[in-house]
Amino acid sequence: MSELIYTGKAKQMWTTEDEDVLRVVYMDQATALNGKKKDQIKGKGQVNNQISTLIFNYLKAKGIPTHFIKKLSETEELVKKVTIVPLEFVTRNIAAGHFASRFGVKEGTPFKQPVEETYYKSDELDDPFMNESQALALGIATKAELDCMWELSRKVDQLLIPLFAKANLQLVDFKLEFGRLADGTIVLADEFSPDNCRLWDLTTKAHMDKDVYRRDLGDLTPVYEEVLTRLEKVLAKEAN
């Protein structure tokens, strides 16, 4: 019998008959400010599942190891069971959001090379910034594991910048999470959707991500649906 083992801000994790496989259910929920702002948004879970499926399949085909197995339904997917490393790996190609306000940089300022930041995953502590020596001191990951996760993050950035550009979208920044398989192998986990990245329309600079919700700029689901439509067209062309 399937058992609910985890409920997050936007997804649930359920057991399956295979102890090494979990079922993920995407929920119609949006949160911001570490959960302080929360709303139900119809259709969000379905479109996020579709976008993340496209991205994870694309990354897998390009050699990025992931926990993703397959899309199960409009709002469900199967993934390999992993032990999540409690770190968020943030890559910033352009100044935006908290980075811009924290350092007094004009939003939209491009970086000569990506900015890399690591945060400790803890809602109770408000996801504090964590450097490598702190992560090592707390035994969160080994030096080799941290190097591996940053190497994968850089590869993801190099793969997705041109993919989104073909969809007339600019990959401003994104957050990745990783997990360990039973044998200790590090793989990309969680999801990749406009919930955990910033995307701007290359032509209009319109926000095409969760900032629409954070900043009350309009309805979220139609924006995500537009991202999905553009990605589907680009990937369909690449497949032909």
Contacts of residue 60, Cβ cutoff 8 Å, sequence gap at least 6: 66, 68
**Contact predicate 51/225, CB 8 Å:** no
User: What confidence category does residue 216 fall into, taking pLDDT thresholds of 50, 70 and 90?
Assistant: very high
pLDDT at residue 35 in the model: 63
What is the pTM assigned to this prediction? 0.95
Tell me: the pLDDT tens digits for 69-99? 999 999 999 999 999 999 999 999 999 999 9
pLDDT of 221 higher than 80: yes
Rounded distance between C-alpha atoms, residue 35 and residue 31, angstroms: 5
pLDDT value at 157 more than 90:
yes
Cβ count within 10 A of residue 126: 11
Half-sphere exposure at residue 116, Cβ-oriented, CA atoms within 13 angstroms: 16
The answer, yes or no, to whether residue 34 has pLDDT greater than 70, is: no
Mean pLDDT of the region 102-116 = 97
Rounded mean pLDDT of 7-22? 94
Q: What percent of the chain is predicted at pLDDT more than 90?
A: 90
pLDDT tens-digit map of 46-69: 999 999 999 999 999 999 999 999
